[in-house]
Amino acid sequence: MTKTLPWIYLVLAVLGAVLPWQANLEFIQSSASGGFDLSGFISDANLTAASRSLSRDLLVAASAFTIWIVIEGRRLEVKGWRLTLLMCVIVSFACGGPLFLYLRERRLNELDSTEKESSQQ
């Protein structure tokens, strides 16, 4: 599982980029202005109790995960962890979160193989 887990995270990151942006493009196409109407997006995200629940759930989870990305990225010296935060903002949290997990797993595998090599010497 150690070798396949990073790839599962990478597939989820790709899906996390594509699927939300399909909905975003639908939203943009249905917008009267023909562009991305941020206030309309926020309004729609709070239109019903179900959409408010999902929006608030995402806000809390993304906030906690963002803090963890910063702490864990620095602690493990994960290459590209800052990029994942940018991806969370400009693409989607569903992309940036799994992308960080992919990079983190690669780093953990790297540290594990380095540890094994040094213990064999």
Tokens of 77: 């010296």
Domain count, the chain: 1
Q: Give the pLDDT of residue 34.
A: 77
75 lies in some domain: yes
Domain-embedded: residue 88: yes
3-state SS string for the chain = CCCCHHHHHHHHHHHHHHHHHHHHHHHHHHCCCCCCCHHHHHHHHCCCHHHHHHHHHHHHHHHHHHHHHHHHHHHHCCCCHHHHHHHHHHCCHHHHHHHHHHHHHHHHHHHHHHHHHHHHC
Predicted confidence band at 117 (pLDDT cuts at 50, 70, 90)?
confident
pLDDT band of 36, cuts 50, 70, 90 = confident
Q: Please report the pLDDT score of residue 58 as a whole number.
A: 95
What pLDDT does residue 90 have?
95
Across 68-97, average pLDDT: 97
Using CB atoms within 10 Å of the CB of residue 80, give its burial: 0 to 12 exposed, 13 to 18 middle, 19+ buried: middle
pLDDT of 57 strictly over 90: yes
Domain membership of residue 64 as a residue range: 59-111
Domain membership of residue 7 (yes or no) is no
Question: What pLDDT, on a 0 to 100 scale, did the predictor assign at position 80?
Answer: 97
Task: Indicate whether 67 belongs to any domain.
Answer: yes
Q: Which residue has the tokens 């569903």?
A: 94
**pLDDT for 97 beyond 80:** yes
Is 36 domain-assigned?
Answer: no
Max Cα-Cα span within the chain: 67
Q: Please check whether residue 50 lies inside any domain of the structure.
A: no
